Structure 1
């Protein structure tokens, strides 16, 4: 049965080939197939770039949180009022600048870079009596 079907298909395509349409049809199908493959490649590249940006954003956030926690524990252990401290992590490096005010609020300025040299910056206000972060702003 398969050979009869193939013969039928080839008999139908034979007049198209004689008239010169077969080459044009194959070129059109090839062009559409190549366009589809290039489209898939572009989609994959865009998705990879998006995931890389998301990963970098996650690293920035985790680096700021780690820096905030270590700075607060440093303040609680040493009682430092005004100082600078540098913390190094796997994700990057953070420099914390601690400034006390007359009230119980301590202003912590975190600045640094990730391993990919992406700059990060945040200002945190920490209440020493309540032991909680009052305000967090990123730049």
Structure 2
């Protein structure tokens, strides 16, 4: 049964080749395969770029949170009126500008730069009496 089927297939292919269709079919199949491969490459590149952007966003957020925590710790340990402090992390560098006010609320500005030279900025208010962040905004 297998030999008859193979003979039939080869007979059909031979007839298509004799009529000039085989070359066109092979070109069509090759074009479709190449198109599919290019599509996969493009999709992989887009996914990689998306993951890189997500990783950078995560690093920016981590940098600001680390800066906030260390600034609050610095404020609790040191008792000064106006000061500036720079913190260096694996993710980048954060510069904190601390402004005390007559009330118990402290105004803090965080300026940072990631390792990829992306700028980050945040403003927050820290209540010394409640020992909590009252307001937070990122730029």
Question: TM-score normalised by the shorter chain: which range applies?
Answer: over 0.9
Gaps of 5+ in 1: none
Please list the CA deviations of residues 4-53 of structure 1 after superposition, one character each: whole Å capped at 9, or x if unmatched. Answer: 33222111111111111110010001000000000000000000000000
Is residue 12 from structure 1 mapped to residue 12 from structure 2 by the alignment? yes
Segments ≥4 residues shifted beyond 3 Å: 1-4
Alignment coverage as a number of residue pairs: 139
Label 1:8 to 1:80 Cα distance change in 2 as closer, same or farther (>3 A).
farther
Secondary structure in 2 matching 1:43: helix
- Does the 8 A contact of 2:96 with 2:108 survive in 1? yes
Q: Which residue of 2 aligns with 1:105?
A: 105
Q: Which residue of 1 aligns with 2:80?
A: 80
TM-score after normalising by structure 1: 0.96
Q: Which residue of 2 aligns with 1:50?
A: 50
Gaps of 5+ in 2: none
Partners of 1:81 and 1:4 lie apart in 2 by: 96
Partners of 1:137 and 1:21 lie apart in 2 by: 67
- TM-superposed CA distance for 1:79, in Å, is 1.9
Aligned CA RMSD, in angstroms, stands at: 1.0
- Does the 8 A contact of 2:109 with 2:121 survive in 1? yes
- Does the 8 A contact of 2:63 with 2:112 survive in 1? no
Q: Which residue of 1 aligns with 2:120?
A: 120
